[in-house]
Amino acid sequence: MAGLMLCPLALFVMTFAIARGVPVVGIVFVPNMMVFVAVTLTCLLDLSLHFPAIEAVV
């Protein structure tokens, strides 16, 4: 269900970009943000699978 909700930062960026008259900036930023979030989560998953002992420490 969480994936169906809009990201508040994406809404803010798009609204701000449209208000400033540069909607292209918002359109470019939002997909880039999604890609970097996916990369970050993938790296965290990879670390948790390769180093399971870290989970016990944290």
Whether residue 15 lies inside any domain: the answer is: no
Whether residue 11 lies inside any domain: the answer is: no
Whether residue 50 lies inside any domain: the answer is: yes
Report CA Rg, the chain: 16
Whether residue 58 lies inside any domain: the answer is: yes
Q: Which residue has the tokens 């508040």?
A: 8
Report the SS3 class of residue 7. coil
Q: What is the pTM of this model?
A: 0.64
- The vertex-39 CA angle with 17 and 5, nearest 5°, equals 55
Number of domains the chain contains: 1
pLDDT by 10-residue block (mean), the chain, 58 residues: 67 92 91 88 86 62
Task: Please give the residue range of the domain that contains residue 39.
Answer: 29-58
